[in-house]
Structure 1
């Protein structure tokens, strides 16, 4: 049989192929093991084998290196080397010289496809507005670190005259590429380290975003203007590509979004068309030498978040990350030639890589110090900007294909990148813990309802997960008794899981955002706005949206409460039986727990079982509230909130104080009892002055069984019951022991009891209060709010 002719491919010719790798030759159906043909000679068989090997190797490296805090990038590169033909031949898994020529073409094609899609999706998820607040710092730090590293590498390469690096103008491109901080690398690394929502992580992400654009444009323009004969055509091609992306594709995408009904998902044909369009743009950009920049610009044109950005992410990212990208690392391992390493040349390349990383660290540290960032965090910022990832290797592969660096240089550079990541990532994970810093900040300045003067504005942070949380939260605000002397101001924050975005963000909600938001944000905010208007603006409302991963969302909530001097956070409670997905229920439960642990103020967990009935149509607001008071700061928070409610028409409050007989108290308990008595006396005095059906009762008990019995008598008597999360009564009410019998331990023993279906069915709502700690910090009622029109990421304290 004669060899088939070359296969036409996109205007060119794929040469040196004996047959197309995507065709099935009916005359070669004897390739099976029992038909006289070795299946290892087939490219597809080798491809499947390598995919299986790299997946298995990756899992093993993750398990082995997890105690050393190694990132996924290091494990992936090592797994790619293990799955390479060189290693597999050494391990005798495959016979020597058994790999077909088509195998490497298939591996590299699939790997490049995966890297292109990940780059495109990162651009889709990128919100360029997040750098606005940190623009000056990010520009200064980014330019200082990149330029210092580029200069050092350029001088060392010229000085040492590296034999594996092409001479001339490429030395400058080599220095710039090694120094580049790739935004996609930073995004995935920070998500793995769970520092995307931290202040330092936000600054590093903004810096990397600007560095990506700066270095890419600079290198592209340098290449174009280096050859005068092609400058006009190159620039014209680039401008034509930009015109196609912004003028044609961008308008078409916006038209598709406008034509899509609100709340309806985009048609799968749209997702498929845009996915194919990304490859076409990548092809056109690669023809003019700007593949990364072209793909990034096309991704930025697509609106991040729902409906389009999130749909693309959900449908494409998993396939690209878990199926296509592993073969990218196999291609890296295929190109790594450990046998080519020469110690003399290797020392020079390693010295250059280390010097470049140290120069970037020093440049970022000095620039951060000039921006008045603390020394510790300045050094950590320099480490963050040394994060390495697959897109650095993608650039090195292209240099190898263009033969501007040799195999030895490529091998040493790749191993150096892995070594730098293996050192930098554990240091960041060890020395930068946003949670410890958040806890320290919370301890310095905590607020509670007890400490608020009765004649100042009460600020409440209302966390909303979905539209079902709105009626009960509004009823709770209505019961809080907003007056001219003591108005209520609610910061309403819609908590939305980070989908279709690369950068988490908290931002004020605007009414014009109706068409670009999802999850009912518009209807949620409209309901609170109507409530504010109906209250004659005695209850103010300022809406925000938070887009972040659940595992880091509490940082935004806690910092927001700290900066706005908020004494009370209300978080909704969803039981596991109310959630459609078990993973979401677990994530929300962890979120509530993190907010309670790190909040700088009182946290109220609200179990809404029908508070909306208090605002029935055609009648005035009416609510019966019960307070279970035993002792301690948590119970005092519930009572302090009840005191503020006294005086609200048609709100009747009953306080049940449970007193233990014959209790031996230590000094701390004696002091607590004096504070308890003072707050009880304040309620009784206010009750006498108002005298609108408010009741105070004392009940004496001997043990925990009598406590449970007395609380059981409150069945079906109230619309809302407020309790503290825990209290300290030695010996007589052992909560630590009783928590093992509760369904929801985070609500405390009494909170779980009154929230159970056996207690009040689905009729009585519950508010469980958790005090942040006993402090003497005062309430800063004079702090002014930011104007509603000001855009911000999040006001943060200095690093």
Structure 2
């Protein structure tokens, strides 16, 4: 088909197309029969696949995916975020490095192929923002702390004011294009704000999302984002008012957006909520509901685009109106998040880097003005974000880390830069300057944040929080961390056996630790009783079991319940933080393997959390291994209680802590406690070993006590094989065995056993007792005494400062002694 085209000149000026003046920067020419240019017949038929859309698209996607993942595999060891790795990939592919080759750009990244990729990735960005808005919990803003409000206000207003004053002072010196397009003011507004999706994503990568500072940063960024969305809507409405030709069109554009909001609130939201209520508890949304909700998100994108607003604005508002978590948030994560975040969004970031051209950075004056605004915004935001935390007595390292977190930039800022470039608000040089500034800023901040902020350091206490050193007849504070309903019955049995009386009560903190799924920000909050009860959740059933224990032992047991949503790799932060805040003396964790008859299932995430809690806990830790298969209804008390308890005592601080907890249990008259001390024949360590003397002193206190429910005995053994033989012979006589973890403690009593150990968190003895080939159906409690204590003393581990006292609170009146052969 012939058309009358006057070709453009080399300066990309306006040209004539069918007697019409056209203002267009780029024209893409394709065959008239476009369907024949999509797929190739193959090399053997004489076709070049790179001249066809589908093979070229597949090659581009594969190349970007492989190269970006390879670069991130290297840079992640330098604490770089995925966003930075993907942008750097774009730099490498762009005209500054590999793209200098005309053949490479013409064959692989021609305008036709990048046009297809741009369209595909913009669709992915819309769905990504919809997904993030669904996962956003606006309830975080119900009662924001003073630090959050003041950090938001000062951290946003101060850099903006500084940039405005700077702009007014330098306005007469600015180049003409910077004066005309207001780019510097838009830049100051955007870089003065923090983006919630960016902050949560990067903090998740750094493992700081569920720390105290991480929660402050995410809440502050969410508050900033909410305010910025209203500002963006106002600015968009203002732009519509300034661009439309008639007042009627202007009013229609604004009114149509208001009608859209009403449609969401009164039609779409109730319809989706009904679909969610029809989904069984604990299950994902059915396929039809999922597809329908995604289509509704795309439809709202189309409607807001018609109104003159950005296409992503509609899905974001719809997502904020919907509940996150189960089932909607989890369904989107399972079926949508991996494809969008793992494949298409990296392409979006790579293309943004690909557009950057370092060779265009020639105007040093313009570069200097843009960089000056970026630097002033950066410094002003750090100072503003630090001011409030410092006023509220936050340590300066934490305040500085918070200021750096508020300056993190990512995909939201890239989206704004792309928009400015597409609308020619920023020319290629300005776009390249901003992309380089964004990359350098975030690339330098992430390792600095990781270096400055170490949340585990706060778990180093100056007090001894152990059972052994608790005051006589004082309340015993325990923290129980459970993951599912199967963990509850054995823990309830242990707590029932550990109760004493109203004069020495148990204060139990129950923490239900769950995977962060379907939500963007981590949560650590008290469990709330719901006024309406549409259906019991797993958390409700777990808490009810402990509430029943409290009700049955009123005055002797008190329960406080909490819920934690956290990433898998950092669940231990919530356990340790709550243990520190509540000043507990013992954390009880379920073993990562659960036995169901002849089968045993392992949970690698739970094992990792247990190991991290053992390493960082500010108190003693115990791991409960349930080999008795005591599962059952969690809301009812079990009658299969623990009555016969034994402490296998080999010596060391962990064994002394295990013995202290056993003696605490012996205060319950329903418990029969047997203390078995293992002694190696011919061991004369008492002449030189302080640990042996401490063991003797503690066991001697037991021997002086008189109680009808306590039995003490000694077993002389030659080596580890003898220890195993005695334990195998005795273990089936008890319901619960309590042993020390004995980390890095070798002796003749355990010689030859460490080579068979499979679970180091249980120690040599605990691992041996819990092994399936040991064939003993008995629960095992493996105890580790507090490690992280910063005071000097006599009773700490080798190389660790620690315990200063060896007092043991007496249980009742005495002890029955059998085979008394104490080596005094």
Normalising TM by the smaller chain, what interval? 0.7 to 0.9
State the match for 1:456 in structure 2: 474
Which secondary structure does the structure 1 equivalent of 2:161 belong to? helix
Deviation at 1:283, TM superposition (A): 2.5
State the match for 2:290 in structure 1: 271
Contact 2:480–2:511 (Cα < 8 Å) also in 1: yes
Correspondent of 2:372 among 328, 346, 351:
351
Correspondent of 1:122 among 120, 127, 132:
132
State the match for 1:490 in structure 2: 508
* Residues in 1 aligned to 2:619 and 2:137: alpha-carbon distance in whole angstroms: 31
* Residues in 1 aligned to 2:605 and 2:573: alpha-carbon distance in whole angstroms: 15
Matches within 5 A, 1:678-757: 678-686=697-705, 688-689=706-707, 691-692=708-709, 694-726=710-742, 732-733=748-749, 738-757=753-772
C-alpha spacing 1:39/1:86, structure 2 compared with 1 (3 Å): farther
Which secondary structure does the structure 1 equivalent of 2:525 belong to? strand
* Residues in 2 aligned to 1:469 and 1:284: alpha-carbon distance in whole angstroms: 49
Correspondent of 2:358 among 332, 338, 350:
338
Correspondent of 2:349 among 329, 337, 342:
329
* Residues in 2 aligned to 1:429 and 1:594: alpha-carbon distance in whole angstroms: 18
State the match for 1:783 in structure 2: none
| TM-score, normalization by structure 1 | 0.87
Say yes or no: does 1:198 pair with 2:198.
no
State the match for 1:42 in structure 2: 52
Say yes or no: does 1:772 pair with 2:786.
yes
State the match for 1:797 in structure 2: none
Correspondent of 1:136 among 137, 146, 152:
146
Q: Deviations over 1:526-554 (max 9, x none)?
A: 22222222234532222221110121111
Correspondent of 1:151 among 139, 151, 161:
161
Say yes or no: does 1:261 pair with 2:248.
no
Say yes or no: does 1:59 pair with 2:69.
yes
Identify unmatched segments of 5+ residues in structure 1.
7-14, 780-799
State the match for 2:268 in structure 1: 249
* Residues in 1 aligned to 2:69 and 2:577: alpha-carbon distance in whole angstroms: 36
Mean CA deviation greater in 650-659 or 41-50: 41-50
Say yes or no: does 1:550 pair with 2:568.
yes
Mean CA deviation greater in 142-151 or 382-391: 142-151
* Residues in 1 aligned to 2:97 and 2:413: alpha-carbon distance in whole angstroms: 23
* Residues in 2 aligned to 1:98 and 1:603: alpha-carbon distance in whole angstroms: 58
Mean CA deviation greater in 27-36 or 410-419: 27-36
State the match for 2:121 in structure 1: 111
Deviation at 1:183, TM superposition (A): 1.0
State the match for 1:787 in structure 2: none
Contact 1:725–1:750 (Cα < 8 Å) also in 2: yes
CA-based RMSD:
3.4
Q: Deviations over 1:354-391 (max 9, x none)?
A: 22212211222223322322222222211111111111
Deviation at 1:220, TM superposition (A): 3.0
State the match for 1:445 in structure 2: 463
C-alpha spacing 1:618/1:81, structure 2 compared with 1 (3 Å): closer
Deviation at 1:701, TM superposition (A): 3.1
Contact 1:307–1:516 (Cα < 8 Å) also in 2: no
Deviation at 1:447, TM superposition (A): 0.6
Deviation at 1:193, TM superposition (A): 0.7
Matches within 5 A, 1:41-440: 41-84=51-94, 89-91=99-101, 94=104, 96=106, 101-132=111-142, 134-158=144-168, 159=170, 160-165=173-178, 167=180, 171-225=184-238, 227=241, 229=247, 232-286=251-305, 287-344=307-364, 345-435=366-456, 437-438=457-458
C-alpha spacing 1:372/1:296, structure 2 compared with 1 (3 Å): farther
Identify unmatched segments of 5+ residues in structure 2.
4-16, 18-25, 788-795, 797-801, 807-824
* Residues in 1 aligned to 2:517 and 2:671: alpha-carbon distance in whole angstroms: 42
State the match for 2:817 in structure 1: none
Q: Deviations over 1:40-88 (max 9, x none)?
A: 2323333222212212221332244345433222210121233447865
Mean CA deviation greater in 165-174 or 423-432: 165-174
Say yes or no: does 1:605 pair with 2:623.
yes
Which secondary structure does the structure 2 equivalent of 1:451 belong to? coil
C-alpha spacing 1:112/1:321, structure 2 compared with 1 (3 Å): same
* Residues in 1 aligned to 2:75 and 2:639: alpha-carbon distance in whole angstroms: 65
* Residues in 1 aligned to 2:122 and 2:597: alpha-carbon distance in whole angstroms: 39
* Residues in 2 aligned to 1:81 and 1:242: alpha-carbon distance in whole angstroms: 40
* Residues in 1 aligned to 2:555 and 2:622: alpha-carbon distance in whole angstroms: 24
State the match for 2:809 in structure 1: none
Mean CA deviation greater in 357-366 or 191-200: 357-366
Q: Deviations over 1:383-412 (max 9, x none)?
A: 111111111010111112222221211111
Mean CA deviation greater in 325-334 or 223-232: 223-232
Deviation at 1:726, TM superposition (A): 0.7
C-alpha spacing 1:614/1:304, structure 2 compared with 1 (3 Å): closer
